[in-house]
Every structure is written in structure tokens, then in C-alpha cells.
Amino acid sequence: MIRQSLTFLTMLLPILGASGPTQAASYKEIRDVTVWCDVAMSCSLTLSADKYQGVTALVLHRANRLNDAASVRFTSAVPIVEGAMLLLTIDGKDSLTLIANKTGIKEDGNSYHETNPHLIDWIIKGMKAGSTLSIAIDSAGQSSETGFSLSGSVAGMIFMDEYQDLLETSYAFHVTGTKRPHPRLPIVGVEQRSQVPRAIWNGWFAKEQASCHFYRESSQLPGNGFRLTLRSGDVYGLPCGDGGAYNQPFAAFFVPKNENLPIKAVPFLLDGNNTDSGAGPDLWNIGYDARKGVLTSYFKARGLGDCGVQTKWQLNEVGDAVFFEAMEIREKGDCDGNYAGGPDKWPKTWPVED
């Protein structure tokens, strides 16, 4: 059998009793914008410039919380320094000037994050009402102007509102209302090595022979790591070692609130038996479907995605024990260019039906 993959987060609803998003998909292309929502329920809407100079992308980002969740992020080919000026103009008429401060400058000046709610509100209103956006940047003696199409922005914001379960609430970007928002799911993205508990890092990552060791030294972790808080402790879904061109391995760990209990890898059970062969994790390309409360794993046998294995798991919390239990496995071994309806339509190889 081709190696299994994992899509962790769909586990939340059955355990937490919280209401999740109605949209399972995490990526969408809508006209001239793209929207990506990660396993930690943070979403980003991206506008790409018409040429690679000056400001090359504008990203409307919203974290998985209710207050102070939104930010606007600029990526620039011109290094952004303190005091740099960004002039934003909607449809050649309404304009706003941003002056870069030291706090907002990221990635050695290649990125700038704006968190002022009044400025963000202006940008959101302009994206919804306008057709085009131009951004002129004047930074460190370099000046440049780029244009962006706003087509698809409203639909992209609605997608974000729906995915983050904020439709018809006062927190929505577009379809606002008086509906009370559900509590946020207790998921936090884990993107930096510093966010990984020391016991996990020392036990599974630090040594060269460890199952999750990275040969590439970096403070940034690849893929969509997360921390999920349960009643009895925290589940960590973490990238586990260096990935290939289209498959990133992951592993799951449990940190119990009861400090007398050990930190350990989360078991994955198939027919009641632990699937860990001792050779390391068999989990790949994590994703999240909170609507169904299921963890979906997808291992690509090749980059086209026309063959591979999809496994769905259910997270269980029984007392202080946390484990994943297999729900179904679907497999397509023929890499023939035929997607056959996608992994959800592939032949089911487990459980075997009579």
C-alpha cells in the first residue's frame, strides 16, 4: 500500500462541541484573488501585482480570533525601511498614505505588516467598492508603482467569513449582521521552532538520528504545524523531517496537562492496532475539515495528484488518553493521468465491505 497521509484538524468538532466552518476547502482562486486558510483557521486573501517591481503583493490576513485579528501585509521588491511611504489609490481617485514604522517591517524589509484598524478598514472598504488598486512606494531612495485588480475581492472575503464561521456577525468582512459568533476553535499555528515544547524537540527532532530531524537549520518550520488544546492537554501536529517535492511528513504529539504523565507521540489505530512501525511517522500534507470533524491524510504518489492514498482519522479523547482511529482508506495505484473524481472517489481499501 502506498504510504498513508494525514489531514489533522477535522478532529475538532466531535471533541470540542464547537461549531466549525461550513466550507471544508482551504484554498480558492476567485477571479484575480487567491484565498488560503491554514489548519489553524487563519485566512489570507492575496492580490498579486501586474509586474514584479515595487510592491508585488497585498495580503489581507485574519487570524483565528475575534479581536485585533486583521492585518494587511505588503510584499515588496523594494526594501521597506522605517519612514518609507506607500500611497494606495483606488480607481485613480481615493488615496491613503501609509508610513512604515519599525514594528511593521518584517523579513529584512521584504514585507510590511499594517495593524492599524482604521487604515485596515479603509483598505477593506476600497477593495470591496473599487475595481483597481495602485500602490506607489518610496523607500530608501527607490520609487516604484504597481497595479492590482480587485476583481474577486468581495467573493474572497465572503469565503473567509464562511470558512472562519463569521458570516452575519459584526466581525465579518462583508456579510455582517447581529448573529453572535461561535467561540473560536482552540487552534494555534506553529510556524517557529521556538513554539515547539523543548521536550518534544529534544526527544524527536534535535539528534541527527531522531525520526523528525531536520538537516536544514532554520528557525522557521515548513508546512502547517498547529497546537490544538483539548480538555486533558495539547495535541501538536508538526512537520517531521525534510519533505520532498510534493509530500511533507508530519507527526502528532500529546502534551498532557497532568505533568505526572509523559509527553508522547499520538497513536494512530487501525483495527485497534497501532500503525506505527517504529520507522517514523507515516503522516503527510496535513489539512483540516472542521465541518465533519475528521482528519484527512493525503499522500501523493506523484506531483500530478492522480494517484496515492487518502486516509481519514477520528481523534478520540478518553480520560487522559488521546488517539486517532482510522475511519477509511482510499487508494489509487495507477498513475495514469486520470484523477478518477479525486481521492474522495477512489476505491475504498479499508474497511473492506461485504
Per-residue model confidence as pLDDT tens digits over 22-70: 333 488 999 999 999 988 889 999 999 988 889 999 999 999 999 999 9
Mean pLDDT across 207-220: 87
40 shares its domain with 114: yes
Query: Is 237 contained in some domain?
Result: yes
Q: Are residues 157 and 88 in the same domain?
A: yes
Q: 167-171, 187-191, 275-279: lowest mean pLDDT where?
A: 275-279
194 and 158 in one domain?
Answer: no
Same domain, 142 and 245: no
pLDDT higher for 224 or 193? Answer: 193
| pLDDT, position 225 | 84
Pick from 50-64, 149-163, 218-232: least confident: 218-232
- Does residue 1 fall inside a structural domain? no
Q: Residue 119: give its domain's CATH number.
A: 2.60.40.1880
pLDDT for residue 51 = 85
In a shared domain, residues 202 and 129 = no
pLDDT (average), residues 5-19 = 38
Domain presence at residue 169? no
Report which of residues 232 and 288 the model is more confident about: 232
Please determine, for residue 159, whether its predicted confidence score (pLDDT) is greater than 90. Answer: yes
| Same domain flag for 191 and 333 | yes
**Domain C-terminal end among 108, 131, 163:** 163
Residue pLDDT, tens place only, 101-115: 999 999 888 999 999
- pLDDT of 299 > 60? The answer is yes
User: Does residue 239 fall inside a structural domain?
Assistant: yes
Is residue 171, in this structure, part of any structural domain at all?
Answer: no
Within a domain: residue 64? yes
Of all residues in the chain, the percent with pLDDT exceeding 90 is 65
- If asked whether residues 151 and 229 sit together in one domain, one would say no
> Torsion angle, CA of 165/169/173/175, rounded to 10 degrees?
100
Indicate if 225 and 269 belong to the same structural domain: yes
Whether 15 shows a pLDDT value over 70: the answer reads: no
- Specify whether 159 is located in the same domain as 32: yes
Please determine, for residue 182, whether its predicted confidence score (pLDDT) is greater than 80.
Answer: yes
pLDDT of residue 11: 40
Same domain, 190 and 329: yes
**Angle between the N-to-C axes of helices 153-163 and 117-129, in degrees from 0 to 180, rounded to the nearest 10:** 120
Say if residue 92 is in the same domain as residue 145. yes
Look at residue 17 in the predicted model and tell me its pLDDT: 38
Give the residue from 100, 130, 163 where a domain finishes: 163
| pLDDT averaged over every residue in the chain | 87
Separation of CA 303 from chain center: 20
Residue 36, CA distances (Å) to 20, 43, 171 in order: 17, 6, 19
Q: Is residue 65 part of a domain?
A: yes
Structural domain count, the chain:
2
Please indicate, yes or no, whether residues 83 and 141 belong to a single structural domain of this protein.
yes
Q: What is the domain extent for residue 131?
A: 21-163
69-127, pLDDT tens digit by residue?
999 999 999 999 999 999 999 999 999 999 999 999 998 889 999 999 999 999 999 99
Q: Residue 10 — very low, low, confident or very high, per pLDDT cuts 50/70/90?
A: very low
Pick the range with the lowest mean pLDDT from 141-150, 159-168, 224-233.
Answer: 224-233
- Is residue 173 one of the residues assigned to a domain? no
